[in-house]
Amino acid sequence: DIQMTQSPSSLSASVGDRVTITCRASQSIISFLNWYQQKPSKAPKLLIYAASTLQSGVPSRFTGGGSGTDFTLTINSLQPEDFATYYCQQSYTSPWTFGQGTEVEIK
């Protein structure tokens, strides 16, 4: 199975900050990497697919990058509604595995 490791596990940031979350795959997944946002008691929401393509309706302050084994999710100018947990997920091969999550908290 491909292991997905996110860092950090949690971070504290202020409104307006730029935040970067890293996701590392245990083997190359080319660009088959998706990012989700989850708020408490809600289902995850797709933000970015294929490593860098913004899902329809997602604000442009979210950007994804990377390829191979190393990927990033950057949130430019953090907004109050962005405080949530973020997950990466590989769609390269079954089983379709998720990272352990990164919780973005208010400083």
Partner 1 sequence: EVQLLESGGGWVQPGGSLRLSCAASGFTFSSYAMSWVRQAPGKGVEWVSAVSGTGNSIDYADSVKGRFTISRDNSKSTLYLQMNSLRAEDSAVYYCAKDRVRYSSGPDAFDIWGQGTMVTVSS
Q: Nearest distance from residue 48's CB to partner 1, in Å? A: 9
C-beta of 37 vs 75, nearer to partner 1 = 37
Residue 57 has phi, psi (to 5 degrees) of 90, -5
Residue 97 has phi, psi (to 5 degrees) of -100, 150
Q: Nearest distance from residue 87's CB to partner 1, in Å? A: 6
C-beta of 10 vs 77, nearer to partner 1 = 10
C-beta of 38 vs 72, nearer to partner 1 = 38
Number of neighbouring beta carbons within 10 Å of residue 93: 12
Judged by the rule CB under 8 A, the positions of this chain that interact with partner 1 are 34, 36, 38, 43-46, 49-50, 55, 87, 89, 91, 94-101
C-beta of 17 vs 22, nearer to partner 1 = 22
Do β-strands 102-106 and 10-13 pair in parallel, antiparallel, or remain unpaired?
parallel
What is each CA distance from 28 to 13, 25, 32, 36, in whole angstroms? Answer: 31, 7, 9, 20
Q: Nearest distance from residue 46's CB to partner 1, in Å? A: 5
